[in-house]
Amino acid sequence: MVYNWAVVASAGSHGVMPTSRLGGGIELPADLSILDINTIRKLNRLSQSQEASLSYRRRLAQARIDLLRAERARRGRLRFGESLLTNPIVELAEALGGRHRASGSHRRAVSVGVGVDAAALAAEVDGIADPTLVSNPSQLSLSDIDDLERSLVGYEELLSTQRRALHREIDRLHAELVVRLRGALGGAWS
């Protein structure tokens, strides 16, 4: 569903306003001051949800890229006669395991919701690199690994570009909220 907030906000006498596109086809007017505060808050929540969805898909793609690269590295060591772990997933888990976290760290585990069904988001990534192939990359040829990696890297780059654009719009929404809050407080923060 595409919401054109410029048309919604300009339903009065403003006419059609220049817009910028928020992820998911949502257009923001160039001048956010024409929107009421509740619309800005709603757009801010929506943009945060979209950011979580983009980030989730990007992390999935990056994890699969890491698995493919670990398999390529494992095969490279095999050619030189080094001993190998039996599974690149085990190797990756050890590399990314808790030992990199400082002992006694005060960080707590945080669950980040993606705003929609995670399986639906994963399905998009699965369409590029089937998880059954990536979870057992030793069954793939080097050419297959290269092709999968290239596809995943291109997808990850696209998501990163979309995410950067979305962050610019989130920053604009936050800046407008700050202006509104300062105005509501009568300049008490000056």
pLDDT band per the 50, 70, 90 thresholds, residue 39 = very high
For 180, the token pair is 């509104």
Q: Is the pLDDT of residue 152 over 80?
A: yes
Higher pLDDT, 43 or 184: 43
The reported pTM is 0.69
Q: What is the pLDDT of residue 18?
A: 40
Q: What is the pLDDT of residue 99?
A: 44
Q: What is the pLDDT of residue 113?
A: 58
Q: Are 67 and 137 in contact (CB under 8 A)?
A: yes
Q: Is the pLDDT of residue 87 over 80?
A: no
Higher pLDDT, 35 or 9: 35
> What average pLDDT does the chain have?
75
- Give the single-character DSSP code of 102: P
Q: Is the pLDDT of residue 97 over 70?
A: no
Q: Are 159 and 61 in contact (CB under 8 A)?
A: yes
pLDDT digit string, tens, across residues 102-138: 444 444 444 555 555 788 888 989 999 988 888 888 8
End-to-end Cα spacing for the chain? 41
Q: What is the pLDDT of residue 23?
A: 55
CA distance 25 to 47: 11
- Per DSSP, helices labelled H in the chain are 5-9, 37-79, 88-96, 118-128, 131-134, 142-184
Number of residues that this document lists for the chain: 190
pLDDT band per the 50, 70, 90 thresholds, residue 19 = very low
Mean pLDDT within 45-62: 92
